[in-house]
Amino acid sequence: MSKPKNDPGEFEVIKNILSPLAAAMPGSLGLTDDAALLDLQAGEQLVLTKDAMVAGVHFFANDPPEYIAKKLLRTNLSDLAAMGAKPLGYLLATAWTDACDEQWIKNFANGLKEDQELFQIGLLGGDTVKTTGPLTLSLTALGTVKIGKALRRNGAKVGDLLYVSGTLGDSALGLQSLLGQLPPVQQDHTEYLQNRYYLPQPRLNLAQSLVDLATSCLDISDGLLADMGHVCTQSNVGAIIHRNRIPLSKAASSLPEKGKEFWDSIVGGGDDYELAFTVPAAKKTQVENLAKDAGEIITHIGEMTLGDAPVFVDEIGQEIHLPKTGWTHF
Amino acid sequence: MSKPKNDPGEFEVIKNILSPLAAAMPGSLGLTDDAALLDLQAGEQLVLTKDAMVAGVHFFANDPPEYIAKKLLRTNLSDLAAMGAKPLGYLLATAWTDACDEQWIKNFANGLKEDQELFQIGLLGGDTVKTTGPLTLSLTALGTVKIGKALRRNGAKVGDLLYVSGTLGDSALGLQSLLGQLPPVQQDHTEYLQNRYYLPQPRLNLAQSLVDLATSCLDISDGLLADMGHVCTQSNVGAIIHRNRIPLSKAASSLPEKGKEFWDSIVGGGDDYELAFTVPAAKKTQVENLAKDAGEIITHIGEMTLGDAPVFVDEIGQEIHLPKTGWTHF
């Protein structure tokens, strides 16, 4: 037990670096009290999620601190998006290492600041401690939905259409690129894929517009097939997912080999933070127009079926067995 | 980056060990969705706090897992108590080490289960990851207060009376005892002090009954003098704290030497998780009767004054200078 005495570190960091992040949140009480306060409007429900990240497992210890901060925040915002929620604010717990000096922490806070402005949220509270192990971060994100309107994983019905947002697999390929495991591609493709790994794009606006349309929704964090497994289990349905409909980025498409390893990365790699959601077949035009109007790309990749698990099929409807079925973080 | 593949660990732990902790919380959605849902009653405000704990800093890695779980939960509940809040539930993030096998995690969960029943709360959500470093835990506790009724640190007025709950310094002496740094005392005193270190008692009922009486309140985590420093800063007042009024347990009183080191532990050691609160002098009888009716021990230890910091004085009013002014955890 090595509690340092009279180390101004914690209070100074809170006062000088973290408090400004809380300035726009009256409920943070300027980070000067034991807890934060939050009001809900009538008819609203609170949506809460909490993720943890450890250096060497969820990010590289020498990643730019701004990117680490943004990934931490955005993966949590993606969980809020999965429920159709509008984000409000967040609490942050950080276990810094000795390598996290004042400049590092300032850069980390600057990443949060930029994303706070982008997503219109603020810091509500939290805790800062020191660790002798890898940098460990935890964030609790708070949002709201209209009561009873939250998107869930358990509402998909046989016959519903399965959609995903954006393109899949970019983040997994970006990680492989950073690890030197990807065949050479054009420099701008490399940058695109690595950027997709570093900076998830939580699909908050799209998700909020789906609350009256989608029968189920989640964000893809463990890989499309693994996550659709959760939807199938929770909804007591199966799914057919067509390989030739999976949306690929130009960068992913540019890879020379598209064998099983490639498709493993695309539908099993995880960290996509795209939405997978189901809508009744009768709503096909409505949901596609809605996405078009909102400037969001969505792709119809399959259908919900009788069954209890997703089936990934090729052009002639034959099942494709992939060695991996999704990352687990534990 | 070492994401294990197809490791059933995370899902199995969530399903078999953590889900039962969420059973009584409908908003947890059985831990099957991306986020949890929470409703507030009209006229209520949400109170949020989040603390982190690291093995070797905030607890011993070989402490019984039940105790680690309860300390984590109770320190957060103590923050809710400091605001006068009624606890609702919590989110939990755990970075397990390899030493946390299934039995360890079951014991940890059992500690949470016992305290959930004691404090009438439940698990709402969270995250489980692995770490190569020390066991790292973070908990977000949620409670409610009537809108505008939360106890704050910034309302103390000159002339207010300063009270504390329970007895001070036991936890710090308990830690010294565990470290073999305490002079020998009776076995039952040793057990008492160590127990006070392991199992904080969040003063939730007392705090909730103070919302219409106290002008300021906090829970003592960094030591009485350091924490009263925060109250003085936030309230723009000073405080006189009388050494001979500080409530001591029988175990603490039994220590043979009561020099500066002893008093350092009592008012600077921290981890008390007792309340320090101020009330207008006119409410003295009312607050003391209220505590008596509730079976809670409170002690009038000083007064708020003109000034900007607490002054610790001896029997003849002379200031006592102590080398330590409170633990910081960073």
Helix (H) or strand (E) holding B140: strand B136-146
In the structure, what pLDDT confidence band is assigned to residue B328 with cuts at 50, 70 and 90?
A: very low
User: Residue B92 — left, alpha, or beta (φ > 0 → left; ψ -120 to 50 → alpha)?
Assistant: beta
Residues A103, A221 within the same domain = no
Closest approach of B80 to chain A, Cα-based (Å): 7
A102, A188: one domain = no
Residue A9 exposed, middle or buried by CB count within 10 Å (0-12, 13-18, 19+)? middle
Joined tokens for residue B105: 């995690």
B154 burial via Cβ count (<10 Å: 0-12, 13-18, 19+): middle
Q: Give B175's contacts in chain A (Cβ within 8 Å).
A: 1
CA distances from B59 to A37, B126, B226 (A): 29, 21, 21
Q: How far apart are CA A313 and CA A319, in angstroms?
A: 4
Contact A328 B49 (CB under 8 A): no
Q: Which amino acid would we find at residue A177?
A: S
Instruction: Give A151→chain B minimum CA distance, Å.
Output: 9
Residue B168 and residue B91 in one domain = no
* CA-based nearest residue in chain A for residue B50: A126
Q: Are residues B239 and B176 in the same domain?
A: yes
Q: Within 13 Å, how many C-alpha atoms sit on residue B169's CB side?
A: 23
Those residues of chain A that have pLDDT short of 50 are 1-8, 325-330
Average pLDDT, chain B: 93
CATH code where residue A272 lies: 3.90.650.10
Neighbours of B60 (CB within 10 A): 16
A105 exposure class (CB count in 10 Å sphere: 0-12, 13-18, 19+): buried
CA-nearest of A166, A275, A97 to B136 is: A97
ipTM score over 0.85, yes or no: yes
Q: Are strands B238-242 and B310-313 parallel, antiparallel or unpaired?
A: parallel
SS (H, E, C) B153-207: CCCCCCCCEEEEECCCCHHHHHHHHHCCCCCCCCHHHHHHHHHHHHCCCCCHHHH
Q: pLDDT tens, B136-153?
A: 999 999 999 999 999 999
Residue A130, domain CATH: 3.30.1330.10
Answer whether B24's CB lies under 8 Å from B117's CB.
no
In a domain, B200, yes or no: yes
Over residues B237-271, the pLDDT tens digits come to 999 999 999 999 999 999 998 999 999 999 999 99
For chain B, the distance separating the N- and C-terminal CA atoms, rounded to the nearest angstrom, is 27
Question: What span, in angstroms and rounded, lies between the C-alpha atoms of A215 and A11?
Answer: 47
Q: Are A136 and A49 in contact (CB under 8 A)?
A: no
Identify the band that residue B327 occupies on the pLDDT scale cut at 50, 70 and 90.
Answer: very low
Sign of CA dihedral B229, B234, B236, B239: negative
Among the candidates A113, A146, A179, a domain finishes at A146
- State whether A142 and A184 are in the same domain: no
On whether residue B232 sits in a domain, the answer given is yes
* Beta strands at A86-96 and A216-219: parallel, antiparallel or unpaired: unpaired
Asked if B287 and B177 sit in the same domain, the reply is yes
Kindly determine whether residue B29 and residue A96, on different chains, have CB atoms separated by under 8 Å. no
Query: What is the spatial distance between Cα A279 and Cα A286, in angstroms, rounded to a whole number?
Result: 10
| Closest Cβ opposite residue A33 in set B83, B96, B142 | B83
Q: How many CA atoms lie within 13 A of A9 on its CB side?
A: 21
Closest CA to A239 of A158, A119, A120: A158
Which of B56, B147, B218 comes nearest A2 by C-beta? Answer: B56
Distance from CA of A122 to the nearest CA of B (A): 14
Indicate whether B101 and B50 sit together in one domain.
yes
Between these two residues, A90 and B294, which has the higher pLDDT value?
A: A90
Residue A330 lies in a domain: no
In a domain, B155, yes or no: no
Identify all chain B residues contacting A9, using CB atoms and an 8 Å cutoff: 328, 330
User: Taking CB atoms and an 8 Å limit, are A32 and B153 in contact across chains?
Assistant: yes
Residue partners of A283: CB distance under 8 A and separation at least 6: A213
The whole-angstrom separation of Cα B230 and Cα B328 is: 13
**Which chain A residues are Cβ-neighbours of B61 within 8 angstroms?**
none
Residues of chain A contacting residue B94, judged by C-beta atoms under 8 Å apart: 52
Q: What is the count of residue pairs from A and B with beta carbons less than 8 Å apart?
A: 277
Q: So what's the pLDDT on residue B324?
A: 59
Does A295 share its domain with A257? Answer: yes
Give the gap in angstroms from C-alpha A292 to the nearest C-alpha of chain B: 26
- Is B278 part of a structural domain of the chain? yes
Q: Do B328 and A10 touch (CB under 8 A)?
A: yes
The predicted model gives B188-202 an average pLDDT of 97
Domain span holding position A139: 11-146
Asked if residue A212 and residue A121 are part of one domain, the reply reads: no
Work out the minimum CA distance from B141 to partner chain A, whole angstroms. Answer: 9
Does any domain span residue A265? yes
CB-CB neighbors (< 8 A) of A122 in chain B: none
Mark whether A183 and A265 lie in a shared domain: yes
Instruction: Tell me the C-alpha distance between B185 and B319, whole Å.
Output: 29
Do residue A328 and residue B136 have CB atoms under 8 angstroms apart?
A: no
Nearest C-alpha of chain B: how many angstroms from A129? 5
- Regarding whether A302 and A209 lie in a shared domain, the answer is yes
Over range B176-190, report the average pLDDT.
95
Contact B127, A176 (CB under 8 A): no
Query: Nearest-CA distance from A118 to chain B in Å?
Result: 22
At A4 the pLDDT is 40
Neighbours of A61 (CB within 10 A): 13
Model confidence band, residue B15 (pLDDT cutoffs 50, 70, 90): confident
Chain A residues whose beta carbon lies within 8 Å of the beta carbon of residue B325: 6
* Closest Cα in chain B, distance from residue A117 (Å): 22
- Tell me which of B139 and B15 has the higher pLDDT: B139
pLDDT score for B79: 97
Of B79, B114, B146, which residue is a domain's last? Answer: B146
CB B149 within 8 A of CB B212: yes
- A92/B50 CB distance under 8 A: yes
Residues of B in contact with A329 (CB under 8 A): 3, 10, 128-130
Residue B267: Cβ within 10 Å count: 31
CA distance B28 to chain A (A): 9
Check CB contact under 8 Å for B56 and A140. Answer: no
- CB-based contacts of A246: which residues, under 8 Å, 6+ apart? A164, A168, A169, A224, A266, A267, A299, A301
Is residue B153, in this structure, part of any structural domain at all? no
Instruction: Say what the alpha-carbon torsion angle A7, A13, A144, B149 is, to the nearest 10 degrees.
Output: 60
Let me know: does B135 contact B54? Beta carbons within 8 Å: yes
- For residue A173, the model assigns a pLDDT of 97
The residue of B11, B18, B50, B96 whose CB has the most chain A CBs within 10 angstroms, and thus the best one to mutate to test that interface, is B50
Are residues B166 and B81 part of one domain?
no
* B230/A50 Cβ within 8 A: no
Instruction: For tokens 């008492």, name the residue.
Output: B192
The SS3 of residue B75 is: helix
- Residue where a domain stops, chosen among B146, B170, B189: B146
B211, B155 in Cβ contact below 8 A?
no
CB-nearest partner of A52 from B5, B93, B142: B93
Q: In B, which residues are within 8 Å of A40 by CB distance? A: 40, 46
Task: Specify the number of domains making up chain A.
Answer: 2
Distances (CA, A) of A9 to A12, A139, A255, B328: 5, 21, 48, 8
Q: Do A35 and B80 touch (CB under 8 A)?
A: yes
- Cβ of B329 within 8 Å of Cβ of A11? The answer is no
Q: What is the mean pLDDT of residues B180-203?
A: 96
Report yes or no on B96 lying in a domain: yes
Instruction: Report chain A residues whose CB lies below 8 A from the CB of B82.
Output: 33-35
Mutate to test the interface with B, among A1, A13, A34 (most CBs of B within 10 A): A34
